Amino acid sequence: MHIGLGFDTGGTYTDAVLMDMATNGVIRKSKALTTRDDLSVGIRNTLTGFDENVLNNVAMVSLSSTLATNSIVEGKGCRVGLICVGEEFEMSIPVDLHITISGGHDLEGKEAGELDEEAARRFMMSVKDKVDALAINSYLSVRNPDHELRLKKIAKEALNIPVVCGHELSSSLGYNERTVTSVMNSRLIPIIRELMDSVKKVMNEHGIKAPLMIVKGDGSIMSEEVALERPVETILSGPAASLIGAKMLTGREDAIVMDMGGTTLDIGILRNGYPRLEKEGAIIGGHRTRVMAAEISTSGIGGDSRIIVNGSRFMLETVRVVPLCIAASRWPQLIPRLKDVSEMRSRFSPESMDVMNIVQDTEFFIKLKDIKNVLLSREDTALLSLIEKEPLSLKEAGMKLNVHPFSFNVAKMESLGMIQRIGLTPTDLLHADGSYVKYDRTASEYAVAHQSHKMGMSGKEFIAFAGERVIDKLAEELLRKLFFEETGTLRIDAVGMDLMGKAISRTDGMDYGCVIKLNKPIVGIGAPVSAWFPRVAEKFETELLLPEHSEVGNAVGAVTGSIVESMDILLKPGVGENALDDPSCILFAPFGRIEFEKLSQAEVFAVEEGGRHLRERARKAGADNIEVRSEKREKKVSLGEGYEGRILIETQITVMAVGKPRQFKMEEYVSDYVKL
């Protein structure tokens, strides 16, 4: 039996699945809360009760994670130094220390300026022990990587830290985007190392001796070694794995995949069995990167989204909080306090107040960690001390410190990750009505009683009302994604908003209504999506697929992906030779700039040399039985009216190496990514 072990570490839950890779059958699955302060704890908890004899026979371990994406959005990571060559960087993403030196190339790959190696050496010595990784980006290095490679060699000798070059991560034009990508990549190295170390620690505890892989943002997988060199490629890893898992669990080639976790809703499209990739590069934290990733729409609506009732106004916010049912399971002393809250009236917070500072009697705070060099008020420092061991509401903390609850700047401390908010969530709604009970539902019931009283509703009416708002939000995010797929824009005008509102609510206006019918099924991934997605599918008159094991669909996708390495090689005809049948040309590739007397020779060389490099990269990524494929695309223009023929502007050759993870010896293998 060929056994694979898949993990998915999400913002709220960590999933694990054991699979028989010969039959794609699930042997065992589990979920545990993600433990952000020590990831190995949550990973270890997922394996509780798994058969040790089966674990000892695991042939491969693979994981997907939102860790890289979340770290970029939250601005976390190590100290990074940056050397820019030949062009200033717009500094759209912060770096710790940087310098710009002379050098760089032009579009023909010729040296635009002499490389100032001496300035680079002085900078390297000045940042020694002050940065943890170094990014090097030279202008138009995709046309000629020589200056980046020379500086990397110097850096390897001078600094005992990871060194990342822009051309190693992307072959696309776009100096600033490539620089952003390399800085992100450098900053993520210790984040991904911590994740890998956590998994390996648990593997060693269970005697698992198998290769460790991680899912990339395009849904393919790579080895631990490659992931530590190119961690930025793991952005959107979790959502990409859900697309692969959805296809594996349903067998559907065309579908809308909605993955609802505790923190986010991720929506992607399967077309002809493959995720649609964002050719221009994924946008993460507002920054365009040059990372090839699945085109995923991510929004902050999940099982742990914050529900607020301010006066009689209901709000569903994107911020993640710990559900009361989960918190009460850990701190049962919250239950009697919530009982008291359920029987009392609540104060109203001004609507002009920032939503993060609205005081809710059903919300509590617990300390996560200290951060050095953060300026805090006396009240905030005292609050941190109070909530170090036990959660308190702001009202409770204010009474203990004899200050007003509005005195605390919880928004600042929460954004820095110093404290964690506990409050009412969609998960609590399900616990309160009994449709999904995994934790302590009593806490959820008391909070619902309190909030429903403020809105003049019964508990049952409030649950129905709040649940419908959750469903409407999911439907809205789905339509926004599909509108973007059809039109290529996220801008929705007043008329579009009106039509969208009518389609979601299924209510008519004065003279017309609107019905939108989807022509693809929805595949639901996550738990417990069965509470929300049926009504979403019903609104749009489409089929809903909730396959068995959908609650661990990301982990299934993680362990069933393929290894894919690709390279784009550009061939530009010589000046004045565009109309010739076989002109001279210049080849631009990650492995260098080379001139050829004939285009036909360059095309053969591109496939052979590109294939050689990619085979090596694929082997390094952990692949076996590697297959190399290539695709040629020509850009030609007409000579104009009255002339025959067309002239060649450029030829692009994409070479791809596809393989299965090493140590799997299946009799039959079909790659999910041969046609990417």
Residue 485 lies in a domain: yes
Q: Give the integer Cα–Cα distance in Å for 316 and 546.
A: 25
Rounded to 10 degrees, what is the CA torsion of 71, 75, 76, 81?
120
Q: What is the DSSP letter of 623?
A: E
Indicate whether 466 and 352 sit together in one domain. Answer: yes
Q: Give the integer Cα–Cα distance in Å for 62 and 558.
A: 6
pLDDT above 80 (res 672): no
Rounded to 10 degrees, what is the CA torsion of 587, 675, 58, 618?
-10
Q: Which long-range contacts (CB under 8 A, 24 or more apart) does 583-587 make?
A: 583/648, 585/651, 586/108, 586/109
Indicate whether 89 and 178 sit together in one domain. Answer: yes
Smallest CA-to-CA distance from 92 within 101, 104, 105, 82 is with 82
Residue 216 lies in a domain: no
Rounded to 10 degrees, what is the CA torsion of 193, 198, 204, 209?
-50
Number of H helices and E strands in the chain, helices first, is 20, 30
Q: Give the integer Cα–Cα distance in Å for 663 and 622.
A: 9
Q: What pLDDT shows up at residue 297?
A: 84
pLDDT digits (tens, 9 = 90+) for 40-56: 999 999 999 899 988 98
Q: Which H or E element spans position 65?
A: strand 58-65
Contact 527, 12 (CB under 8 A): no
Band (513; pLDDT cuts 50, 70, 90): very high
Indicate whether 454 and 525 sit together in one domain. Answer: yes
Distances (CA, A) of 670 to 235, 279, 286, 627, 675: 25, 25, 36, 11, 11
Q: Do β-strands 274-275 and 133-138 pair in parallel, antiparallel, or remain unpaired? A: unpaired
**Cα-trace Rg, the chain:** 27
Q: What pLDDT shows up at residue 668?
A: 37
Q: Give the integer Cα–Cα distance in Å for 504 and 181.
A: 38
Q: Which H or E element spans position 299?
A: strand 297-299
Listed in sequence order, the residues at least 6 apart from 524 whose beta carbon sits closer than 8 Å to its beta carbon are 258, 260, 530, 533, 544, 545, 546, 550
Indicate whether 132 and 263 sit together in one domain. Answer: no
Indicate whether 179 and 274 sit together in one domain. Answer: no
pLDDT above 80 (res 258): yes
Among 255-259, 299-303, 532-536, name the one with the lowest average pLDDT. Answer: 299-303
Rounded to 10 degrees, what is the CA torsion of 592, 597, 603, 606?
-20
Smallest CA-to-CA distance from 657 within 609, 622, 617, 599 is with 617
Q: What pLDDT shows up at residue 662?
A: 67
Indicate whether 86 and 180 sit together in one domain. Answer: yes
pLDDT above 80 (res 332): yes
Residue with tokens 């393919």: 220
Residue 1 lies in a domain: no
Mean pLDDT of 616-620: 88
Residue 160's CB: how many other CB atoms inside 10 A?
9
Residue 143 lies in a domain: yes
Number of structural domains found in the chain: 4
pLDDT above 50 (res 622): yes
Q: Give the integer Cα–Cα distance in Å for 259 and 352.
A: 34
Q: What pLDDT shows up at residue 609?
A: 95
**Given 421, 442, 463, which residue is the final one in a domain?**
421
Beta bridge partners of 449: none
Q: What pLDDT shows up at residue 1?
A: 61
Residue 542 lies in a domain: yes
Contact 3, 18 (CB under 8 A): yes
pLDDT digits (tens, 9 = 90+) for 60-114: 899 998 877 777 766 677 889 999 999 988 877 778 899 999 999 998 889 999 9
Smallest CA-to-CA distance from 570 within 253, 273, 170 is with 170
Indicate whether 382 and 443 sit together in one domain. Answer: no
Q: Does the reported pTM lie above 0.85?
A: no
What's the whole-number average pLDDT of the chain? 88
Residue 447 lies in a domain: yes
pLDDT digits (tens, 9 = 90+) for 89-101: 887 777 889 999 9
**Given 143, 168, 187, which residue is the final one in a domain?**
187
Contact 428, 325 (CB under 8 A): yes
Residue 37 lies in a domain: no
Indicate whether 352 and 386 sit together in one domain. Answer: no
In degrees rounded to 5, what are phi and psi of residue 471? -65, -40
Residue 627 lies in a domain: yes
Indicate whether 337 and 452 sit together in one domain. Answer: yes
Structure tokens at 621: 């990524």
Mean pLDDT of 2-16: 89
Indicate whether 414 and 437 sit together in one domain. Answer: no
**Given 187, 205, 227, which residue is the final one in a domain?**
187
Contact 329, 440 (CB under 8 A): yes
Using DSSP's 3-state secondary structure scheme, residue 540 falls into coil
Indicate whether 435 and 320 sit together in one domain. Answer: yes
Give the range of the structural domain holding residue 395, as residue numbers without chain letter: 365-421
Indicate whether 468 and 507 sit together in one domain. Answer: yes
Mean pLDDT of 130-139: 92
Among 209-223, 275-289, 545-559, 569-583, name the one with the lowest average pLDDT. Answer: 275-289
pLDDT above 50 (res 521): yes
